Amino acid sequence: MKFWLYYWPSIPGRGEFIRLALEAAQADYIDVGRNQGSAAVAERVHRGDHFAPPILDTEHESLSHVAHILAWIAGPLDLAPSGEREFRRMIQLQLTLTDFVAEIHDTHHPLCTSLYYEEQQAAARTAARHFRADRLPTFLDYFEQTLRDNPFGDDWLVGDRCTTLDLSLFQVVRGLKYAFPNAMTRFDTPRLADLTARVAHRRGIRGYLNSDRCIAFNNDGVFRHYPELDEQT
């Protein structure tokens, strides 16, 4: 199966969750934004069948929303758990990650996306302080416990093999370490740390992370490093 990924070319953003799955499976895909520029992505979005990127096309179908795309490609890419119940649980936990990512985004853009960060910095400081104190530990603890409570062992979040969900959580932890380096040192989540290391060492992922296809985090994406939003040391 051949894939066309439509996402903004200059940020990892939400597109990176799809890219990691495609790269882990060494799938045949074209990163349209990187190849043809952001106008090609905008043109694709304006066709109207999707509300927003990332969009993933095959020759036969076209899907948007990270959790939905991943549920669709996990099987074909051999990144799904074996059982149907675990598959449903994978989708469910991916939707919890979706919520987590939205809350991370809103720390630097709490008021709206149409104002620059600099125009809502005071609100962002308040939002980030509450996020670091309440939501960040709640979400991290939840995923740490999910690993601990997996009846198949604590290597992966669901079942006994690596799924698209593990790749996504890896990306969220990386993004959080970029965005909130001080706050992230506070947490004792050994299973999450092991999972992150395990994903980083997979062949497809290791090669990708060292390639020029992998876009570094920067302050235009979901995960942004503004020192004033991090914990002060």
Read off the tokens for 48: 């109207």
Contact positions vs a second copy (CB under 8 A)? 48-51, 61, 63-65, 67-68, 72, 85, 88, 91-92, 95-96, 99, 102, 106, 110-115, 120, 123, 126-127, 130-131, 134-135, 139, 142, 145, 149
Give the nearest distance from C-beta 154 to a second copy in angstroms.
Answer: 14
Give the nearest distance from C-beta 201 to a second copy in angstroms.
Answer: 28
Nearer CB in complex with a second copy: 28/149:
149
Dihedral angle over CA of 138, 229, 124, 107, nearest 10: -40
Give the nearest distance from C-beta 92 to a second copy in angstroms.
Answer: 5
SS3 92: helix
Q: Are 1 and 28 in contact (CB under 8 A)?
A: yes
Give the nearest distance from C-beta 121 to a second copy in angstroms.
Answer: 12
Nearer CB in complex with a second copy: 37/43:
43
Q: Are 143 and 176 in contact (CB under 8 A)?
A: no
Nearer CB in complex with a second copy: 107/171:
107
Nearer CB in complex with a second copy: 68/177:
68
Contacts made by residues 32-35, CB under 8 angstroms, sequence distance 24+: 32/4, 32/5, 32/6, 33/5, 33/6, 33/7, 33/8, 33/9, 34/9, 34/213
